[in-house]
Amino acid sequence: MSQKISGGVFRSDLKLADGRTISYYDGAEIKRSAVDTRDEKAQPGIGHLRLDPLVNEWISVASHRQHRVFLPPKNLCPLCASKGDKLTEIPDSDYEVVVFGNKSPALTAPSSNWQLPQINGIDTPNADAAGACEVVCYTSNHDSSFAKLTEKQIRTVLEAWKDRDAALSRLNYIEYVFPFENRGEEVGVTISHPHGQIYAYSFVPPRVEKMLQAADAHLKKTGKVLLDDVIAREIKDKKRIICQNTEWIAYVPYAARYPFEIHIAPKRSVPALQDLDQSQSEQFAAVAKESLSRLDGVFGIEMAYIAAWYQAPVNIGRDSMRLHWQIVSVRRQPGKLKYLSGSESAMGAFIMDLEPEQSAEQLKAVKY
């Protein structure tokens, strides 16, 4: 039933009552067979994509999600393991890392003849919102966090990301795979159980499209990979580096947008998560754990953040776009948030009140 993937991790695929797949990722071979005994039915409905002709961007309209089941009471966290008659999204009584489809996904598997329409201004037709939305539970321990995971646990999360990146990339309607974590009520998170998500889009998202333009232009002009040159500058400047080991480097970027922003990248750059080799995969956890711990340490409170994996799209830019992880926090000071208001939100023009070098100093000063 279980299958050995890389990094000594085993994957077991089972079905939830409503037909969704749940994958358990374990650091050793464990027989997984727990049955989902809830009386759940598949939630039908797919959203649709509409083109915003003012900027030629796809908007996913997911009004079918309005009818989604509300969160159960707090004593029954849906991401904890099932215990006795407390039945959660995870049928087994314990787990290491699990991945399963979101119950009310904004993006879902389309019919087999689905195709993204050609963009043609206001004459662009709508399309079914093809894609995938998955939940990644980092640990069964409700009160933990990514930073508090052991390096071994982080390795298992990484192998789950790599495995899902590869699997989703093989679907013919997927153009971009995006693992991310929203953490903290300040960014709208309503379930505090440590977890992330994976959105897989049937189009290249606007932000990635723009990155790709810059990366392609740089490759064409210099013959070099843009992120390699960006990292070379960080290494040369030194002062914004938060931590590093042989394979990975974490730094506050030269032109950070948020008061606390850390980018984490492999020094030998790769297009996507699935391309990380054994040595890179082994060394990720140490740098990830230290970076996120420093973030929590700045104000001594759990920092709200968005942690976003950027990588090459599935079918284009594999030669120019490179994998890296951007973690941004909206907290400026213990009692103060940075709000994305007029300039940032409507113009895309960011104002930073803190020098990136000052921010790096504060992160480096945290005892770790």
Active-site residue set: 195
From CA 101, how far away is CA 132, in angstroms rounded? 8
From CA 356, how far away is CA 321, in angstroms rounded? 24
Identify which range of 4-12, 35-43, 69-77, 345-353 contacts a second copy by CB under 8 A.
Answer: 345-353
Per CB under 8 A, 118 contacts a second copy: no
Q: CA nearest 16: which of 44, 1, 38?
A: 38
11/240 with CB nearer a second copy: 240
Per CB under 8 A, 161 contacts a second copy: no
| Pair of tokens at residue 190 | 């309503």
DSSP result, 247-286: SEEEE--TT-SSSEEEEEEESS--SSGGG--HHHHHHHHH
Per CB under 8 A, 353 contacts a second copy: yes
Per CB under 8 A, 210 contacts a second copy: yes
Amino acid at position 23, single letter: S
Per CB under 8 A, 54 contacts a second copy: yes
Amino acid at position 274, single letter: Q
Per CB under 8 A, 351 contacts a second copy: yes
Q: Is 324 annotated as a binding residue?
A: no
How far, rounded to the nearest angstrom, does the alpha carbon of residue 5 sit from its chain's CA centroid?
A: 20
First to last CA, the chain: 41
From CA 302, how far away is CA 292, in angstroms rounded? 10
Of 31, 223, 341, 367, which lies in the binding site for a second copy, with binding defined by CB under 8 A? 341
Amino acid at position 276, single letter: L
87/133 with CB nearer a second copy: 133
Per CB under 8 A, 214 contacts a second copy: yes
Q: Is 193 annotated as a binding residue?
A: yes
17/106 with CB nearer a second copy: 106
Give the shortest CB-6-to-a second copy separation in angstroms: 26
Per CB under 8 A, 132 contacts a second copy: no
The torsion of the CA quartet 187, 192, 194, 198, rounded to 10 degrees, works out to: -50
Per CB under 8 A, 255 contacts a second copy: yes
Give the shortest CB-43-to-a second copy separation in angstroms: 15
Identify which range of 88-96, 140-148, 277-285, 355-363 contacts a second copy by CB under 8 A.
Answer: 355-363
From CA 266, how far away is CA 119, in angstroms rounded? 35
Per CB under 8 A, 257 contacts a second copy: yes
70/85 with CB nearer a second copy: 70
From CA 202, how far away is CA 106, in angstroms rounded? 12
Identify which range of 9-17, 83-91, 153-161, 186-194 contacts a second copy by CB under 8 A.
Answer: 186-194
| Pair of tokens at residue 307 | 């942690």
Identify which range of 45-53, 74-82, 265-273, 278-286 contacts a second copy by CB under 8 A.
Answer: 45-53
How many residues contact a second copy, by CB under 8 A?
77
How far, rounded to the nearest angstrom, does the alpha carbon of residue 328 sit from its chain's CA centroid?
A: 12
Of 74, 111, 335, 349, which lies in the binding site for a second copy, with binding defined by CB under 8 A? 349
Per CB under 8 A, which of residues 63..92 are in contact with a second copy?
A: 63, 65-66
Q: CA nearest 6: which of 358, 275, 246, 216?
A: 275
Most distant pair of Cα atoms in the chain: their distance: 62
From CA 48, how far away is CA 129, in angstroms rounded? 4
From CA 128, how far away is CA 112, in angstroms rounded? 12
Q: Is 80 annotated as a binding residue?
A: yes
Give the shortest CB-329-to-a second copy separation in angstroms: 12
Residue 350's alpha-carbon distances to 255, 258, 339, in angstroms, are 10, 8, 11
Give the shortest CB-256-to-a second copy separation in angstroms: 7
Give the shortest CB-178-to-a second copy separation in angstroms: 6
Give the shortest CB-221-to-a second copy separation in angstroms: 8
Per CB under 8 A, 50 contacts a second copy: yes
Known binding-site residues for Zn(2+) equal 77, 80, 142, 193
